[in-house]
Structure 1
Amino acid sequence: MQTGSFQWMKSLNKSTILNLVRLKGPISRAEIAKITKLTPPTVTNIVAELLDSELIVESDLGASTGGRKPIMLNINSSRFYVIGIYARANKIDAAIANICGKIIYQLEGNVPESPTKEQFLESLKAMVAKCVELARTDGQPVLGIGVGMHGLVDPQKGESIYATHLNLRQIPIKQFLETEFNIPVLVENDVRALALAESWFGQGRDLANFICVNVSTGVGAGIILDHKLYHGSSFAAGEVGHIPIDVEGPQCRCGNYGCLEAFASGPGMVLRMQKAILLGEKTSVWQKAKGDLSQITGEMIYEAALEGDRPAMEVLADTGRYLGIGLANLINLFNPSKIILHGGIARAGSLVIDPLKEVVMARALTDSVKQVSIVTSNLGKQAAVVGAFTLVLKKLFTPTPD
């Protein structure tokens, strides 16, 4: 065996044990050896290394099966931090968590309007600097920084290929932040990071195949196939918002006509509400916007619908039906066991979900495919930053060969 292969196997065994402690802890050395099929001396040596590195700790004695009570092992939740950054169009959200995924701090910062590439990177730098300083104050080393970025992302280079909402290309996020802070940086598309968060901490745990769909200013999907994030050959997988659902439909910001995003995103809902008002519909959204069509937001439509406003409820129902067409396409293509919805539609509940499910049931190909579970995320508003720092946790607990 070559030296590199030996080192990789050693690293793999170490991560296997570390991840087992994360999933099964408190757990004894004997249980680890039994589950992993590694020899007891190998387990003892690797556990000693993990204890020395302070990634795990010894806890209370376990139950005896006849001999001495075994010493149990747990992840060290009081040592090391990871940082998650979610870069939105005009804001940056951040979270600092321990290596068990418990959030310790949450922060928020701004991005200048229509920033240059340099201004955007400086905004990221300022937010990361605050996080690093908080970690330093607590005396905690930072193991890594995860960045969830909208648009097309090359996770191998750690580069934003095209940030659609910023209209910026080739942003060297990983290179810039690693140079500034000398901390490992991982970058991923924000919706794929959401899928990772669901896989580790949400409704995707233990599922081999599921899809996360986020509906906000756009519509994107994070796809998990055989427990792995699916990127596609050029990192563009999941652009479900640009599936055409009506070739006679309105023009999308991508330049094509009739894209799902043009109908089902926040801006799409606003446009339909504006048209309804111009056609004479009476709605409380008009009062919420103080009589200014340009001030209507998706949030106003949600609020009005929840208050029983008929035109607003119909806009949400139409949104559900349009999304149902897009999701039926995804279901027929990938056959997931579950679809997890994020964004404003998660708050709209049955007003969107019921018509969505009706369309999916009508368009899914077979009875077995129709059994797909469609749910809203329970990770809350911090889901995006959870996904970002989970990039680091995944690297720590489940490494892959270089």
Structure 2
Amino acid sequence: MGNQLMTGSFQLMKSINRSLILNLIREKGPISRADIAKLTNLTPPTVSNLVKELLRAEIVIERNLGESSGGRKPTLLTLNGEMFHVIGVDIGSHDIKLILTSIMGKIIKRNALPIPKDITNETLLALIIESISLLLENEEVDEEKIVGIGIGMHGIVDVKSGVSIFAPNLNLHNIPIKEVLEKQFNMIVKLENDARAMSLGELWFGNGAGVDSFVCINVGYGIGAGIIINRKLFHGNNYISGEIGHMVIDINGPQCTCGNYGCLQTFASGPALVDTVKKEIRLGHPSKLSEMTGNNLELITGGLIHRAALDGDELSKAALEQAGRYLGVGLTNLIHTINPKRIILGGGVSNAGDLLLHSLIQTINQRALTEAAKQTDIIISKFGSDATSMGAVALILAELFTSRGTETAANY
């Protein structure tokens, strides 16, 4: 696919001064050239020249909305939000979810494909390519106007090389995602761990906007965290920061998929919740879930447990409360280690909302060291099941709008 226009536009957006101007227009727009010069400390002629290039490329558009203190009204600049698009991909344990958005993060289209069992590196890569191609099929949006593909992938990823080092829930190693997709689609591809991507999405568009330090927790098939410190995404030395699902809560606990015993995710993840409920029903505990599944316990899912709990099923309510307590212990440890201003919960298990939050917050209140620590903000992600996909979109926007890559959003 000849993608000369997009490559040119991407390079145009990426220089340091252009990134400064673009991010300012994104955050503060509509904004005048004079205000841009003041806020960036660039000279008015420099701003004027750079804006001229951005207008020519149709990345920025002018609006005559300004108020002046007499004389000619200033023209204000705003992003051409509908002109360019981004693809966000969430590669989970069971499916690939995709969204197509504007560069303002507005969702235009979504799609999902199941991941079959016994997947290999090659078949997974083919499936990702197929899912992106399907998203683009019969779409009015010109492929030439797509800026890039962001991917949130569960497990350990090498952010620089764009390789999935270990995807534990698919039991795959060393998948060269960035290299294969950039070659296939001829556009920039950024890969990040799903929880870290999610935290970047919350920083850019969601419940982390305006908060300097927070942690985003993805509670689904596993449990991971994305840590933002001073508006920067923290990766750690070997890209394993935030693997809180493997924080040991009970050294005598059940064995985890990682080989250790008593990890947090053996108590509070989606599969742990399902296992707890199935075990209790087998021991004779009455539950509406038996009726809901026609006594086929293998049909029980986290979503079904949530529905049963809302319907008054005592076993399901108790299981969600217990998961909340264990998560509360894990989050208390996190508060004592990082002391974030806010913790944002995303992923499938977080859909249980108040059924989970009540016991989680109660546990933090019992265990946190100080009154201030007990009051740490705990809220649910703004994006629900789109949280990782939106984070994947933010990976590309962070490349476009900041001169420091995905580490931070510019802070004015």
State the match for 1:202 in structure 2. Answer: 206
SS state of the match for residue 15, structure 2?
Answer: helix
- The correspondence for 2:179, drawn from 175, 178, 183, is 175
| Residue 357 of structure 2 is aligned to residue 371 of structure 1 | no
| Residue 87 of structure 2 is aligned to residue 75 of structure 1 | no
Instruction: Output the amino acid matched with 2:256.
Output: C
Q: How does 1:121-136 map to 2 (within 5 A)?
A: 121-133=125-137
CA gap of 1:198–1:137, structure 2 versus 1, over 3 A, is: closer
- The correspondence for 2:262, drawn from 258, 264, 269, is 258
Deviation at 1:267, TM superposition (A): 1.1
State the match for 1:31 in structure 2. Answer: 35
Instruction: Report if aligned partners of 1:95, 1:385 keep a CA contact under 8 Å in 2.
Output: yes
CA gap of 1:140–1:125, structure 2 versus 1, over 3 A, is: same
Deviation at 1:160, TM superposition (A): 0.2
| Residue 183 of structure 2 is aligned to residue 191 of structure 1 | no
Deviation at 1:320, TM superposition (A): 0.5
CA gap of 1:137–1:37, structure 2 versus 1, over 3 A, is: closer
TM-score (structure 2 length as normaliser)? 0.92
For 1:28 and 1:134, locate their aligned partners in 2 and report how far apart those are by CA, in whole Å: 38
State the match for 2:95 in structure 1. Answer: 91
CA gap of 1:312–1:232, structure 2 versus 1, over 3 A, is: same
Could you say what the CA RMSD is over the residues aligned between the two structures, in angstroms?
1.8
* Larger deviation, residues 337-346 vs 352-361: 337-346
Q: How does 1:40-119 map to 2 (within 5 A)?
A: 40-119=44-123
Instruction: Report if aligned partners of 1:216, 1:265 keep a CA contact under 8 Å in 2.
Output: yes
CA gap of 1:343–1:137, structure 2 versus 1, over 3 A, is: closer
For 2:70 and 2:78, locate their aligned partners in 1 and report how far apart those are by CA, in whole Å: 23
SS state of the match for residue 368, structure 1?
Answer: helix
Deviation at 1:314, TM superposition (A): 0.6
Q: Tell which has more relative contact order, 1 or 2 (C-alpha 8 A, sep 6+).
A: 2
State the match for 2:409 in structure 1. Answer: none
Q: How does 1:324-343 map to 2 (within 5 A)?
A: 324-343=328-347
Instruction: Report if aligned partners of 1:328, 1:360 keep a CA contact under 8 Å in 2.
Output: yes
For 2:115 and 2:332, locate their aligned partners in 1 and report how far apart those are by CA, in whole Å: 36
Deviation at 1:346, TM superposition (A): 2.7
Gaps of 5+ in 1: 1-6
Instruction: Output the amino acid matched with 1:113.
Output: K
CA gap of 1:361–1:127, structure 2 versus 1, over 3 A, is: same
Instruction: Output the amino acid matched with 1:124.
Output: I
Instruction: Report if aligned partners of 1:15, 1:398 keep a CA contact under 8 Å in 2.
Output: yes
Instruction: Report if aligned partners of 2:264, 2:327 keep a CA contact under 8 Å in 1.
Output: yes
Instruction: Report if aligned partners of 2:213, 2:340 keep a CA contact under 8 Å in 1.
Output: yes
For 2:309 and 2:69, locate their aligned partners in 1 and report how far apart those are by CA, in whole Å: 60
| Residue 235 of structure 2 is aligned to residue 227 of structure 1 | no
SS state of the match for residue 58, structure 1?
Answer: strand
Instruction: Output the amino acid matched with 2:335.
Output: I
Instruction: Report if aligned partners of 2:340, 2:376 keep a CA contact under 8 Å in 1.
Output: yes
* Larger deviation, residues 173-182 vs 283-292: 283-292
Deviations 1:85-117 (A, max 9, x none): 111223211111111111111112232321111
For 2:186 and 2:53, locate their aligned partners in 1 and report how far apart those are by CA, in whole Å: 24
Instruction: Output the amino acid matched with 1:152.
Output: I
- The correspondence for 1:274, drawn from 274, 278, 284, is 278
Q: How does 1:5-20 map to 2 (within 5 A)?
A: 11-20=15-24
CA gap of 1:133–1:270, structure 2 versus 1, over 3 A, is: closer
State the match for 1:354 in structure 2. Answer: 358
State the match for 2:8 in structure 1. Answer: none
Deviation at 1:303, TM superposition (A): 1.0
SS state of the match for residue 174, structure 1?
Answer: helix
Instruction: Report if aligned partners of 1:112, 1:119 keep a CA contact under 8 Å in 2.
Output: no
SS state of the match for residue 82, structure 1?
Answer: strand
TM-score (structure 1 length as normaliser)? 0.94
SS state of the match for residue 254, structure 1?
Answer: coil
CA gap of 1:225–1:135, structure 2 versus 1, over 3 A, is: farther
CA gap of 1:223–1:337, structure 2 versus 1, over 3 A, is: same
CA gap of 1:324–1:67, structure 2 versus 1, over 3 A, is: same
| Residue 251 of structure 2 is aligned to residue 247 of structure 1 | yes
Instruction: Output the amino acid matched with 2:191.
Output: V
* Larger deviation, residues 115-124 vs 102-111: 102-111
Q: How does 1:306-317 map to 2 (within 5 A)?
A: 306-317=310-321
* Larger deviation, residues 154-163 vs 266-275: 266-275
Deviations 1:123-143 (A, max 9, x none): 011122233445675465111
Deviation at 1:275, TM superposition (A): 2.0
For 2:405 and 2:250, locate their aligned partners in 1 and report how far apart those are by CA, in whole Å: 44
Deviations 1:325-349 (A, max 9, x none): 0000011100100001112333222
State the match for 1:162 in structure 2. Answer: 166
Deviation at 1:233, TM superposition (A): 0.4
Instruction: Report % sequence identity.
Output: 47
SS state of the match for residue 61, structure 1?
Answer: coil
For 2:111 and 2:58, locate their aligned partners in 1 and report how far apart those are by CA, in whole Å: 27
